[in-house]
Amino acid sequence: MSKSGFASLALLSLVVAACASGATDEGGSFTFSTSFTTVGDGDGDTDEVGMDESGSDDADSTTDATSTTNSTDPTTTTTDTDPTTDTSNDDMVGDVCGDGQITGTEVCEPDDLVGETCQTQGFDGGTLACAVDCRSFDTAACTSNTCGNGALEGAEVCDGNNLDGETCQTQGFDQGTLSCNAMCSAFNTAGCSDYVCGNGLIEGSEVCDANNLAGQTCVGLGYDAGTLACAANCLGFNAANCVNYSCGNNVVEPGEVCDGNQLNGQTCQSQGFDQGALACAANCGAYNTSGCSNLSSGDCCYANGGVGCQDPVITACVCALDAWCCNTEWDGLCASEALDCGAICP
């Protein structure tokens, strides 16, 4: 106090002196400055130090203001090497982590996350916590969704082979292999398809498809023969061209020896008889030779009790004239007719 008062007194004295000097000289003000400076530099250390300290105090104030600003910045006070740590510690004196009061450099309290969550911190899920010093958030228990880990997380519809139980069928298709897209955001149904009748593939409830008859045939279905086809809707067979053999249709079919008048080229002669009309058995399984007969071995010149006589040429000649001789009995009339046909009789 006394030093400051002394300095003021000395300054006042200089001003008075300057004014007195300036009163008689227009350049007094210039002289005053010169005198002031000269006095300041050359005067005792006490006054000069006083002036210097005043300037130094200003600088110190500036430094203090900077320190104060730094101390209120939570991002800088967390660094231990920061020279402002001491100041921060001073500020922390009233900050107690866990007291439920977010003060000073604290950003949260264990029971007060100020509305922050893992999501607001940029994660997909999990539980956010307050750091043990209350000066930051603890995101250790926060999680991020990962497409490709096989687990359904967040908005993932599927993930790799994890299709959440869905199939092509549940997606409305008839068949195929469902998959998950690369973003886990949707199903890929490119491998799904519907059944198509006509594509040659037996699918779903189809019994056959086009030429694919699953190995079935007319015979397999109980018919005797024919060409099996698939129904237009693929749900059954078309047996319109399958056939069963029939005895009596005058068509010699597999399993039949003959049918009606169709004797397969055979005659009584080809069957070993001398004459007659060959027929087909009622069951088509054999020939009926009841109409076939052999010529008698009897003498052509006499009534021999049989049909025909021992000479085929004479017989043929006589029977051409008189069928009775071959169909019923070679009687005396036949014998006399034999003479007309060249027979040499005694």
- Selected binder of Ca ion within 43, 91, 133, 153 (CB under 5 A): 153
- Please identify, among the stretches 10-18, 92-100, 105-113, 203-211, the one whose residues bind Ca ion according to the rule CB under 5 A: 203-211
Query: Is 158 a residue that touches Ca ion (CB under 5 A)?
Result: no
Q: Which is nearer to Ca ion, 102 or 157 (CB)?
A: 157
Q: Residue 284 CB: number of other CB atoms within 10 A?
A: 21
SS3 for 176?
strand
Distance, in Å, from the CA atom of 93 to the CA atom of 134, rounded to the nearest integer, reads 14
- Please identify, among the stretches 59-67, 74-82, 143-151, 225-233, the one whose residues bind Ca ion according to the rule CB under 5 A: 143-151
x-or-dash pattern for Ca ion, window 257-286, by CB under 5 A?
--x---------------------------
**Residue 264 C-beta: closest distance to Ca ion, Å:** 11
Q: Which is nearer to Ca ion, 115 or 254 (CB)?
A: 254
Query: Is 76 a residue that touches Ca ion (CB under 5 A)?
Result: no
Query: Is 253 a residue that touches Ca ion (CB under 5 A)?
Result: yes
**Residue 160 C-beta: closest distance to Ca ion, Å:** 8
List Cα–Cα distances, 72 to 58, 63, 65, 86, in angstroms: 22, 15, 11, 13
For 299-304, which contacts have Cβ atoms below 8 Å and span 24 or more sequence positions?
300/330, 300/335, 300/338, 300/343, 300/345, 301/335, 301/338, 301/339, 301/343, 301/345, 301/346, 302/332, 302/335, 303/329, 303/330, 303/331, 303/332, 303/334, 303/335, 304/330
**Residue 71 C-beta: closest distance to Ca ion, Å:** 45
Query: Is 149 a residue that touches Ca ion (CB under 5 A)?
Result: yes
Q: Which is nearer to Ca ion, 67 or 199 (CB)?
A: 199
**Residue 277 C-beta: closest distance to Ca ion, Å:** 20
Query: Is 180 a residue that touches Ca ion (CB under 5 A)?
Result: no
Of 171, 169, 168, 166, nearest to 191 (Cα)?
Answer: 168
Query: Is 51 a residue that touches Ca ion (CB under 5 A)?
Result: no
Asked if 95 and 104 touch (Cβ cutoff 8 Å), the reply is yes
- Classify burial at 155, counting beta carbons within 10 Å of its beta carbon; exposed 0-12, middle 13-18, buried 19 or more: exposed
Residues at the interface with Ca ion (CB under 5 A) = 146, 149, 151, 153, 159, 199, 201, 203, 206, 209, 249, 251, 253, 256, 259
